[in-house]
Structure 1
């Protein structure tokens, strides 16, 4: 049982820290820059799928009106996916500033995106969501990346903020910062695995129609672009801002949805686990290993309890203490002010989400619009 404990610990540590360290070494040995140079500005089509977004749409339209990209080169397409509120009416009223695509029935975000893209005329497609606000120069920053002909897609940066607009100070914010460090290192050493769904851009000719019901368009699309031999990069100067959900369980539900999408993608695109995937090693290291960490944690706890001896008894009780801190943070939000409690509860919450994602996938509960 001792080797089970150490192997499980090594894999879990690699998933969260070792992979980032390996990328850091790769960047130190050989950084791949994005080539820049003089080029004419390409035409851009902003694509948004919306469903029952009457509360957010006015602010989103105002946000889009402040973008500093030349108006004659900018097309805005917003698809209403069978909305039952005033979403479609608001979009019609906003024409001709935008191109409204009104779908009478809801067939999911993937279908809405496909329909919206079919109306696009821009050389570059920029995908946004209704919830987040984007910086005035965000489109310009993304588009600048495509001066390099090897770039097929560029991801912007999502900043998670508290209600007062300050960066998130809690452990979830720390986790997100670590995730962005990994993306920056992946970008500097080659290609990012996936993009930020709230803000990313691709060359229009590289768009692959998304299968109905797909949860993670922001992983499906860039992985197909990578398969075509193009590079996927992270552009941290293209910024979108979002609020962390204050409603209990909303942030957790969003994480479960994302992880469920990772499982779903394996069924939709089995080639991702074959040599046909040029980012196979990165995909396994960044996405898949984290899905099995819940199993690794169980194996660590059971094997340390069964191994015997003072060392393994100590390791067992340290794990128990860690889970007690996590439970404390879950039951009492005030205790999360203490960093060890916040880190423990966030880590356990993320892995409970991964376990639930697996259950959702095997039980067929993966039909989520957004």
Structure 2
């Protein structure tokens, strides 16, 4: 009996330790390992910058469109040869009409209804004429020198794709926005280190670009940002990040909006992972390590948290039933306070845990064969 008890205690302790390491891995251990890797220098060549096409998809973005069109007009004034293409995914508001009114600035493609961003981006990419395709979102604004700085990186012929830096606005509006802002600052630093050491492992849709010749074919059900950016790595070219290519976007402030957004993104990301698995297996060892550390470990973070809670509860019960009760009540109190608060440490703690579980729910959804093709703008943005 004593041997069985000791075994349970050892298993619980190991499960708790491994869970803590797994949860901390993408944000603590992985960055430390990246800093030990050597820098891979870029090798720019002489020549004029490549031509470019800027592409974005929109659905019910009428509120953001006046500012977006003004931002595009500013970029066009600086780069008269810049081609700008937009896809409207069957908006029920004035989005399409607002874009169409600026036909001198943007070429609009209308979808037959809700067909999704991946479908729209494929249509735009097929229509684009630029040597470099620049992808962004309808609610994202680019700084004046973003295009110059982005295209300058293509002077290195080994570079096949360039990501920009996303700066969020409105991070003080709620605990959800503050947690999202903190998470994204960490994410940006990780991408900087990945870029320094070779390749960034995947882009988000706010601002990234690739050489048009590398644009892949893919089904409408995948996450196009991840699929298109990873095509650069699969082609043996470098996918790098430019700190001076700055995009700005307003944070999602409502907890419910952010939860649904994370479920949708995680479901599509896992579906995309399944689609790309054969090519992922052929990547270099260092790139497979990066991909697993920044993506796969995070996708299962909610499972690691659950395992850690069960293990900690088991150990607490073995030490003292009173300790188990105090720990359980403390957890319930933090959850109660966090759900009732709009700010402060309790609300932030709850938002962090909810983010993990939203991601886990999305992955579980994708594993059962379900995915999400269409999207809706967050109302609290």
Residues 327 and 233 from structure 1, CA distance in 2 versus in 1: closer, same or farther, beyond 3 angstroms?
Answer: farther
Residue 349 (1) aligns with residue 350 (2): no
Structure 1 alignment gaps of length 5 or more: none
Residue 10 (1) aligns with residue 21 (2): yes
For residues 131 and 247 of structure 1, the distance between their equivalents in structure 2, rounded to whole angstroms, comes to 17
Residues 317 and 288 from structure 1, CA distance in 2 versus in 1: closer, same or farther, beyond 3 angstroms?
Answer: farther
Partner of 2:257: 250
Residue 52 (1) aligns with residue 60 (2): yes
For residues 4 and 137 of structure 1, the distance between their equivalents in structure 2, rounded to whole angstroms, comes to 49
Q: In the alignment, which of 193, 212, 219 is matched to residue 204 of structure 1? A: 212
Residue 268 (1) aligns with residue 275 (2): yes
CA RMSD of aligned residues (A): 2.7
Alpha-carbon distance, 1:270 to partner: 2.2
Please, what TM-score do these two structures have when normalized by structure 1?
Answer: 0.88
For residues 133 and 326 of structure 1, the distance between their equivalents in structure 2, rounded to whole angstroms, comes to 36
Alpha-carbon distance, 1:16 to partner: 2.9
Aligned ranges 1:63-78 → 2 under 5 Å: 63-67=71-75, 70-78=78-86
Partner of 1:123: 131
For residues 321 and 29 of structure 2, the distance between their equivalents in structure 1, rounded to whole angstroms, comes to 23
Alpha-carbon distance, 1:367 to partner: 1.8
Partner of 1:236: 243
Alpha-carbon distance, 1:121 to partner: 0.7
Alpha-carbon distance, 1:346 to partner: 2.8
Partner of 1:361: 366
Q: In the alignment, which of 317, 332, 340 is matched to residue 331 of structure 1? A: 340
Question: 2:341–2:347: 8 Å Cα contact kept in structure 1?
Answer: no
Match of 2:50, SS state, is coil
Partner of 1:112: 120
Residues 280 and 90 from structure 1, CA distance in 2 versus in 1: closer, same or farther, beyond 3 angstroms?
Answer: same
Deviations 1:261-298 (A, max 9, x none): 22111232222552346622111111001111211122
For residues 352 and 255 of structure 2, the distance between their equivalents in structure 1, rounded to whole angstroms, comes to 17
Match of 1:95, SS state, is coil
Alpha-carbon distance, 1:314 to partner: 6.8
Alpha-carbon distance, 1:326 to partner: 4.5
Alpha-carbon distance, 1:318 to partner: 6.1
Residues 319 and 75 from structure 1, CA distance in 2 versus in 1: closer, same or farther, beyond 3 angstroms?
Answer: farther
Q: In the alignment, which of 136, 153, 159 is matched to residue 167 of structure 2? A: 159
